[in-house]
């Protein structure tokens, strides 16, 4: 049996077995209700409302404290002797590498194709709201993280849900928190293997094949796929063995490089059509409030924009706190402020650059209401309107995005795995071998059914995670006040004195005042 026929058989067998489950789960998690002639996925509304609630709750902190967040990233408020493994900048780039990916290239193109240019406006708004949600969940991630004897750190919803709920609600909260923690770990692990690993490698390989002669090219054969998979697996395995320090070291260089490369590519297209920029911006604004050819009109464009932004920046899903929890700090809210920059980079900057490039270049493949063209093709065609070789630049960007996402989700999955199966050396080695094998499979297999199921699993996590965020928001407010007091002392030139850990009130009522 040839390698081609074997992989096809595996694909068909897996799809046939899991397709009914994936279909049912997708219908439940992404359940939509008809609104004004279009479909509104309730999970998207859940994420958007959370962003609005937390923005109001914290006085639109994403705007008021944006400059402070940048100062924290720059190291202005670093504290000596802080527990953790990486600095603020490295934690940010590690987390950004998990969100900035193919969704910024292909997903945005789909948004402006189906929802028109106006979807861009609503996508930006959703990204701004998501900044507040990210602030809350990451502050909790650092607050309730676990620092191990060897100096390594574990954090995320599997830690702050059980600890935080137990602290606020006693034994009942402890039991509920532990159940939710196990559930969260399983969801993160499953998505990490299929969505964060296999899918990224598969799409990266597909884009590389497309610019190297297609299936008849040098990498189009099964042998070429196997070589690519083994190469990615080797790179991922080497970095993953080094833990978050190694991942952060790579992503702190890779993320600025890939984001810079992609933004420069977009700017070349925009500058080549500089006279069209004002009209393009006008088209985006007009399309947001008076869209043509979009089901549901304004609401339809809004839903599509919010949907793509929510899927891109992952605010509220509970994944990013895993990476941010490894930061060196004594004030959890300091990293929460850093984290609010993540949706800004991912959605407000990178996604907007993609959308603006497509609107300005207006390639023939971009047709509002058409679902026939794949998103990455539209973006590639937009680049090609300026220079024929620009799709190669896009390919490099896609590969960098894919590799960085695989690395970060490898770390996320490891933390979920060790929460479920322990932190023994054997347990960690088993996971790392499993994860690298999935990287090889990504080039050979599609397993689209499992990837769809992984998406549903990840967004299921948003339901329980955001409930936890609502219940623990008062804790975040106390942590924010503590950090702002520290910043004030630092600005006044006072000595940094260690503050006692804020104590949780004995009753729920004490937090409602």
Q: What is the pLDDT of residue 263?
A: 83
Q: What is the pLDDT of residue 448?
A: 76
List, for the chain, all residue ranges whose pLDDT scores fall below the cut of 70: 1, 4, 36-37, 101-103, 243-245, 248, 251, 292-297, 367-375, 495-513
Residues 6 or more apart whose Cβ sits within 8 Å of residue 263: 349, 350, 353
Label residues 237-271 b or e (16+ Cβ within 10 Å = b): bebbeebbeebbbbbbebbeebbebbbebbebbbe
Q: For residue 51, is it left (φ>0), alpha (ψ between -120 and 50) or beta?
A: alpha
Ranges of beta strands (E only) in 351-483 are none
For residues 212 and 391, give the distance between their C-alpha atoms in angstroms, rounded to a whole number.
11
Question: Residue 487: CA atoms inside 13 Å, Cβ hemisphere, count?
Answer: 18
Question: Pairing relation of β-strands 153-154 and 38-41?
Answer: unpaired
> Which of 304, 392, 268, 287 is closest to 126 using CA atoms?
304
Helices (H) and strands (E) in the chain — how many of each? 22, 4
Q: Provide the 3-class DSSP secondary structure of residue 206.
A: helix
How far from the centroid of its chain's Cα atoms is residue 384's Cα?
28
pTM, full prediction: 0.83
Cβ neighbours of 326 (radius 10 Å): 31
Cβ neighbours of 70 (radius 10 Å): 13
Residues 6 or more apart whose Cβ sits within 8 Å of residue 294: 114, 115, 116, 118, 300, 301, 304, 368, 369
Q: Provide the 3-class DSSP secondary structure of residue 336.
A: helix
- Long-range pairs for 261-265: beta carbons < 8 A, 24 or more residues apart: 261/393, 261/396, 261/397, 261/400, 262/104, 262/105, 262/350, 262/353, 262/397, 262/401, 263/349, 263/350, 263/353, 265/383, 265/390, 265/393, 265/394, 265/397
**Degrees, nearest 5: CA angle 146-147-148:** 110
Ranges of beta strands (E only) in 60-169 are 146-147, 153-154
pLDDT digits (tens, 9 = 90+) for 220-254: 777 888 888 898 888 888 887 776 667 767 767 77
φ, ψ for residue 505, nearest 5 deg = -65, 155
**Count of residues in the chain:** 513
Q: Is the distance from CB of 455 to CB of 191 less than 8 angstroms?
A: yes
Q: What is the pLDDT of residue 198?
A: 85
For residues 255 and 405, give the distance between their C-alpha atoms in angstroms, rounded to a whole number.
10
| Residue 164 burial (10 A CB sphere; 0-12, 13-18, 19+) | buried
Q: What is the pLDDT of residue 513?
A: 29
Strand partners, 38: 35
Question: Pairing relation of β-strands 146-147 and 153-154?
Answer: antiparallel
* DSSP code, position 280: H
Q: What is the pLDDT of residue 375?
A: 64
Q: What is the pLDDT of residue 44?
A: 84
| Residue 387 burial (10 A CB sphere; 0-12, 13-18, 19+) | middle
């Amino acid at each position: 049996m040839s390698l081609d026929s074997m992989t096809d058989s595996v694909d068909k067998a897996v799809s046939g077995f899991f397709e009914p489950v994936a279909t049912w789960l997708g219908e439940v998690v992404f359940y939509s209700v008809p609104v004004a002639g279009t479909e509104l996925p309730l999970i998207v509304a859940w994420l958007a409302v959370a962003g609005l609630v937390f923005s109001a709750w914290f006085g639109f902190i994403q705007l008021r404290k944006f400059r402070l967040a940048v100062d924290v990233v720059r190291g202005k408020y670093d504290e000596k002797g802080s527990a953790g493994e990486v600095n603020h900048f490295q934690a940010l780039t590690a987390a950004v590498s998990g969100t900035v990916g193919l969704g910024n290239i292909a997903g945005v193109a789909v948004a402006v194709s189906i929802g028109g240019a106006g979807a861009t406006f609503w996508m930006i708004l959703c990204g701004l709201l998501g900044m507040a949600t990210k602030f809350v969940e990451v502050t909790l991630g650092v607050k309730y993280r676990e620092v191990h004897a060897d100096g390594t750190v574990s954090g995320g919803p599997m830690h702050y849900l059980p600890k935080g709920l137990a602290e606020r609600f006693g034994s009942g909260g402890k039991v509920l928190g532990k159940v939710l923690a196990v559930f969260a770990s399983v969801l993160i692990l499953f998505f990490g293997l299929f969505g964060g690993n296999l899918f990224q490698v598969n799409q990266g390989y597909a884009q590389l094949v497309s610019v190297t002669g297609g299936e008849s090219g040098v990498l189009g054969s099964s042998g070429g796929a196997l070589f690519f998979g083994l190469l990615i697996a080797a790179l991922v395995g080497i970095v993953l063995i080094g833990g978050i320090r190694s991942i952060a070291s790579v992503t702190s260089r890779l993320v600025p490089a890939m984001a810079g490369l992609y933004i420069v590519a977009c700017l070349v297209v925009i500058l080549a059509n500089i006279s069209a920029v004002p009209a393009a911006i006008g088209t985006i604004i007009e399309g947001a409030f008076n869209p043509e050819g979009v089901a549901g009109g304004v609401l339809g464009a809004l839903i599509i924009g919010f949907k793509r932004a929510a899927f891109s920046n992952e605010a509220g899903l509970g994944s990013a706190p895993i990476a941010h929890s490894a930061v060196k700090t004594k004030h959890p809210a300091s990293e929460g402020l850093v984290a609010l920059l993540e949706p800004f980079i991912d959605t407000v900057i990178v996604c907007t650059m993609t959308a603006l490039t497509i609107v300005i270049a207006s390639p023939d493949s971009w047709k509002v209401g058409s679902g026939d063209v794949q998103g990455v093709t539209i973006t590639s065609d937009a680049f090609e309107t300026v220079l024929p070789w620009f799709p190669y630049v896009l390919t490099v960007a896609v590969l960098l995005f894919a590799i960085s996402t695989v690395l970060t989700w490898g770390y996320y999955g490891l933390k979920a795995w060790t929460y479920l199966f322990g932190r023994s050396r054997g347990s960690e080695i088993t996971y790392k071998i499993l994860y690298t094998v999935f990287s090889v499979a990504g080039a050979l297999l599609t397993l689209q059914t499992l990837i769809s199921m992984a998406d549903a699993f990840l967004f299921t996590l948003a339901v329980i995670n955001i409930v936890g965020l609502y219940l623990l928001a008062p804790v975040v407010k106390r942590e924010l006040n503590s950090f702002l007091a520290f910043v004030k002392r630092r600005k006044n030139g006072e000595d940094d004195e260690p503050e006692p850990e804020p104590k949780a009130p004995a009753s729920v009522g004490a937090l409602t005042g």
